[in-house]
Amino acid sequence: MHNPSVTQTAVDAQRRHDLDWLRVIAFGLLIFYHVGMFYVTWRWHIKSPHASHLPEGPMALLNPWRLALLFFISGVAMRFAIDKAQRWPFARARLRRLGLPIIAGMLVIVPPQTYLELRYGGYIEPGVWAFYADYLNLDQIYPIITPTWNHLWYVVYVLVYTLLLVPVARPLTAWSEGRGGRAVAWLAGGRCGWRLMLLPALPFVAYRLFLRPEFPTTHALVDDWANHAQCLTFVLFGYVVAKNGAFWHAVARALPAILIVAFAGAVAWMALRGLADAATSPLAQGVRMLYAWVAILALLGLAQRYLNRPGPLLRYLNEAIFPYYILHQTIIVLIGYGLMQLHWPAWAEASTVLAVTIGSCVLLHEFCIRRIGWLRPWFGLKPAAATSIGRGQLPGRASAR
């Protein structure tokens, strides 16, 4: 059996540029995904008059793993950060670092989305200030719970998971380096990495089959048990394997087989999804979660091989991507709602929504958020004078070392 401690030092010493890049890519895909949500027939805040089934195929390929990958990376980040800092100062710093963007999001960034969603649904009359007073009123009068964190639920969940893990960090780390590490090393063995591809996916299949029907996803924190089970398990697995050399070497070694299985899983998932009677079957749900896990392994392997290198673009995006994430969905809803009234052709409307969303994120970050000292903490950024390792670090980014 491979001993994870053999390669522990190498993992500790290496800056994980591959995970930095994956985090940036995952958040970038999230922006494109939410632009797509304006154009598919699935339920969303507002809908383009050009909404159709056409973009749903590519989006269905992203859906099983896009957020799971971010939660996995969040777990890795927690392990690196907790190992470098005392637990309770780390928890206080995380509370400030993530709590301020949640407050700013709920009070400033998200309300325009909610206003336009209610206007689109015909629930309210025009009047932003009257709406805002009611938005802050705890007596619920809308079909949407307000105040709301909307797309910032990921940040809320990462913060909650961090605060839950901090008290048990020492025994969890000790277990990860002892019996848990040996269990991961056993998973990382086997011919062609089949144990690593199959066995960790089983809990997620069980959640999908047995918890999801009883607890549909709400993103409301208090009643989202199936989603918590999945997201927290990804966080915990990321924490446990963060410094396990056997795991990372197995991912690299088995990458060809992992890519083949990921491709086969994608094909099988899309085929089952396209069959009305089979789309919600236990087989389809099992295939979905197996595909999600192996796709994450494939991305980890590809990033190790091709993206584990620094550069000025990565340094910039490491800081910029979190403000982009906070801003992007409000911009999509604002520009989408405005363009709906103009009845442009689909190609012109979609290209404008995408260009304005990305352009606005870039300009607002570059000329406002990163340059105005008092704004930086409200968007999850360190003070401008911060020079510590991990500058621009965000929830879900592995520590630099």
Q: Give residue-wise pLDDT tens across range 24-35.
A: 999 999 999 999
Q: Is 385 inside a domain boundary?
A: no
* Stretch 258-262: mean pLDDT: 97
**Closest alpha carbon to 364 in 315, 313, 330, 388:** 330
Tell me the pLDDT of the chain averaged across its residues: 91
Of the pLDDT bands very low, low, confident and very high (cuts 50, 70, 90), residue 11 is: low
Q: Is 267 inside a domain boundary?
A: yes
Runs of H (alpha helix) within 166-311:
169-177, 179-188, 194-198, 201-206, 225-241, 245-253, 255-273, 282-306
Of the pLDDT bands very low, low, confident and very high (cuts 50, 70, 90), residue 14 is: low
pLDDT single digits (tens) 228-254: 999 999 999 999 999 999 999 999 999
- CA dihedral of residues 147, 149, 150, 152 (deg, nearest 10): 170
* Stretch 192-220: mean pLDDT: 95
Q: Is 395 inside a domain boundary?
A: no
The C-alpha atoms of residue 239 and residue 332 are separated, in whole angstroms, by: 33
pLDDT single digits (tens) 369-378: 999 999 999 9
CA angle 113, 118, 121 (to 5 degrees): 125
Domain count for the chain, please give it. Answer: 1
Q: Which residues constitute the domain of residue 99?
A: 4-110+149-379
Q: Is 42 inside a domain boundary?
A: yes
- What percent of the chain is modeled with pLDDT above 90? 84
Q: Supply 215's token pair.
A: 């607890």
Task: Please list, in sequence order, all residues whose beta carbon lies within 8 angstroms of the beta carbon of residue 168, skipping any fewer than 6 positions away.
Answer: none
Segment among 189-198, 348-357, 381-390 with least mean pLDDT? 381-390
Q: Is 89 inside a domain boundary?
A: yes
pLDDT for 3 equals 47
pLDDT single digits (tens) 284-303: 999 999 999 999 999 999 99
pLDDT at 395 over 50: no
pLDDT for 396 equals 40
pLDDT at 6 over 50: no
pLDDT single digits (tens) 98-120: 999 999 999 999 999 999 999 99
pLDDT single digits (tens) 27-83: 999 999 999 999 999 999 999 999 999 999 999 999 999 999 999 999 999 999 998
pLDDT for 276 equals 67
Q: Is 388 inside a domain boundary?
A: no
pLDDT for 394 equals 41
Q: Is 83 inside a domain boundary?
A: yes
> How many C-beta atoms lie closer than 10 Å to residue 336's C-beta?
26
pLDDT for 387 equals 37
Q: Is 121 inside a domain boundary?
A: no
pLDDT at 397 over 80: no
Of the pLDDT bands very low, low, confident and very high (cuts 50, 70, 90), residue 7 is: very low
Name residue, tokens 């030092």: 9
pLDDT for 400 equals 35
